[in-house]
Amino acid sequence: MKKQNMTLSILLMNLFIAFLGIGLVIPVLPTIMNELNLSGSVVGYLVAAFAVAQLIVSPLSGRWVDAFGRKRMIVIGLLIFSFSEFLFGIGKSVEILFISRILGGVSAAFIMPAVTAFIADITTLEERPKALGYMSAAINTGFIIGPGVGGLLAEIGPRLPFFAAAGLALFTAVLSTITLREPERNLEEQAEETAQKPGLARIFVPMYFIAFIIIFITAFGLSSFESLFSLFVDHKFAFTPKDIAIIITGGAIVGTIAQVALFGKLASKWGEIRLIRYCLIFSAILVTAVTVAQSYAMILFVTIVVFIGFDLLRPAVTSYLSKVAGNEQGFVGGMNSMFTSIGNVFGPIVGGILFDINLNYPYYFAAMVLMAGIAVAMVWKDPKTQAEHALHHTK
């Protein structure tokens, strides 16, 4: 148990540092943008380049996690991430910045499914929801702390946050190489249903497919909500950057607390599928409420609370997939990453087009997407329940 806790702590630290590194660079992006005379659309394409690279590589990396091992993929991913941040730090041309962001997307595609599969291997079915809740909390905490640390480092030099992120990732890669041991594969629940399906056709196996659709819907809804939030409150309420920072940070902190304190208990009480249904309903209501909120206190409350729904949704889907995946933990981790990336690519694009028509339209649209997710989740049955139902009808 002590060894397992140590391994889990190292894995969580890997994720924390990787996402701290991503968060570090946020405050200095406008400075780099002005320094290189980049337009807003080019910055948008830089953000999209990360997601597109992650989207393309994720299906392959998921298979490599199963074929070559969890530890190897984590270490390689951290080294690529370190190099990508270093490259952004020294980059004086837009081409170098694009290469950096593409490598960053590749590193995320390597790290996420490998860490998820590693956690699934070292935990029992009972322990896993709690561990995956901690995993999401580590990611969120990195995002929360990153911009603040990056802002302090930027006072010394605008490129320093990138070099700091590169150094942190390199340190973590070395630490992981020394301390992590490749886990024994956890085959408590073998995914026999997928054995007949070759290659990517496994995506359409019913016990996987609905979960992947929920992942896409969640990422699509959340990214269209988050990516335009600062513009929305700036145009509608004249919020300052400080106001926006308070709301985003407050939401992230509340979401992290919910993941650590509530996720394991709620997943055990209701099961992942029912928890996902409730979170989708909760999120759809609150995303709609953002459009009718008028006071600062109301927008602050609604926005902070909406993150609870999203932050419980993601580990719930990940926990469900890890339970049904059997020896395909890397595959489902890769697909999780891929469908998240698809949502992250298209959510901001659609949201941006709608925002130019009407400030509220991206939020109406996000709510509609989440309602579609509710409809899908309502017909979603646990594989065990389906098997028992089929057995009952054959008798």
Query: For residue 81, is pLDDT > 90?
Result: yes
- In this predicted structure, the answer to whether residue 194 has a pLDDT above a threshold of 70 is no
Find how far residue 74's CA is from the centre of its chain: 16
Cβ contacts of 240 within 8 Å, gap of 6 or more: none
Q: Are residues 130 and 214 in the same domain?
A: no
| Least confident segment among 23-32, 51-60, 146-155, 281-290 | 23-32
Total domains present in the chain: 2
Task: Of 156, 22, 34, give the one whose Cα is nearest residue 82.
Answer: 22
Do residues 35 and 164 both lie within one domain? yes
CA 382 – CA 388 distance, rounded (Å): 10
Q: What is the pLDDT of residues 12-21, one digit of tens each?
A: 888 888 778 7
As a whole-number percent, the residues of the chain with pLDDT over 90 amount to 11
* Average pLDDT, integer, range 372-379: 89
Count the Cβ atoms, other than its own, within 10 Å of residue 159. 19
Between 156 and 201, the more confident residue is 156
> Binning pLDDT at 50, 70 and 90, where does residue 77 land?
very high
The reply to whether the predicted model has a pTM over 0.85 is: no
Name 5's Cβ contacts closer than 8 Å, sequence gap at least 6.
none
Asked whether residue 392 carries a pLDDT value surpassing 60, the answer given is no
Characterize 260-278 residue by residue with b for buried, 16 or more Cβ atoms within 10 angstroms of its Cβ, and e for exposed. beebbebbeeebbbbbbbb
144 shares its domain with 246: no
> The tokens of 290 are what?
């953002």
Under the banding of pLDDT at 50, 70 and 90, the label for residue 241 is low
**3-state class of 83 per DSSP?**
helix
pLDDT, tens digit, 9 for 90 and up, residues 86-129: 998 898 888 998 999 899 889 988 998 888 888 888 888 778 77
Beta-carbon contacts of residue 199 (< 8 Å; ≥ 6 apart)? none
* Residues 255, 310 contacting (CB under 8 angstroms): yes
What tokens appear for 118 in the block? 């590693």
What is the per-residue pLDDT for 278?
92
* Domain co-membership, 216 together with 332: yes
Distance in angstroms (rounded) separating the CA atoms of residues 100 and 123: 35
Within a domain: residue 391?
A: no
With respect to residue 329, please indicate whether it lies within any of the assigned structural domains: yes
Residue 199 DSSP class: G
188 part of a folded domain: no
What's the confidence (pLDDT) of residue 198?
Answer: 46
Q: How confident is the model at residue 167 (pLDDT cuts 50, 70, 90)?
A: very high
385, pLDDT greater than 70: no
Q: Which residue has the tokens 């304190």?
A: 261
> Is the separation of the CB atoms in 103 and 167 below 8 Å?
no
The pLDDT confidence band at residue 72, using thresholds 50, 70 and 90, is very high
Q: What is the pLDDT of residue 103?
A: 94
Q: Is residue 23 part of a domain?
A: yes
The answer, yes or no, to whether residue 74 has pLDDT greater than 90, is yes
Per-residue pLDDT, averaged over 223-252, amounts to 73
Mean pLDDT of all residues belonging to the chain: 80
Higher pLDDT: 198 or 73? It is 73
Same domain, 160 and 278: no
356 lies in the same domain as 238:
yes
Given 150, 182, 214, which residue is the final one in a domain? 182
The answer, yes or no, to whether residue 340 has pLDDT greater than 60, is yes
**What CA–CA distance (Å, rounded) separates 299 from 239?**
11
How does residue 186 score in pLDDT terms, banded at 50, 70 and 90? Answer: low
Say if residue 337's pLDDT is above 80. Answer: no
Same domain membership, residue 209 and residue 120:
no
On whether both 105 and 12 belong to a single domain, the answer is yes
Please give the pLDDT value at position 174: 92
Report whether pLDDT(243) > 90.
no
**Which pLDDT tens digit goes with each residue over 261-277?**
888 888 888 888 899 99
Q: Which of 149, 182, 215 is the last residue of a domain?
A: 182
In a domain, 97, yes or no: yes
Q: For residues 178 and 253, state if they share a domain.
A: no
Q: What is the tens place of the pLDDT at every residue in 313-335?
A: 888 888 888 788 777 777 787 78
Residues 170 and 207 in one domain: no
pLDDT for 123-141, tens place per residue? Answer: 887 787 778 778 877 877 7
Domain assignment of residue 28, yes or no: yes
What angle, 0 to 180 degrees and rounded to 10, lies between the N-to-C axes of helices 296-324 and 206-227? 160
Per the structure, the complete domain to which residue 97 belongs is given by: 1-182
169/328: higher pLDDT: 169
Cβ proximity of 270 and 377 under 8 Å: no
pLDDT tens readout for residues 142-156: 776 777 777 778 778
pLDDT range class, residue 192, cuts 50, 70, 90? very low
Q: Which of 79-83, 127-131, 195-199 has the lowest mean pLDDT?
A: 195-199
Same structural domain, 37 and 158: yes
Residue 349, in any domain of the structure: yes
Mean pLDDT of 182-211: 65
Q: Kindly state whether residues 55 and 125 are assigned to the same domain.
A: yes
Is 279 part of any domain? Answer: yes
Give the domain CATH number at 232.
Answer: 1.20.1250.20
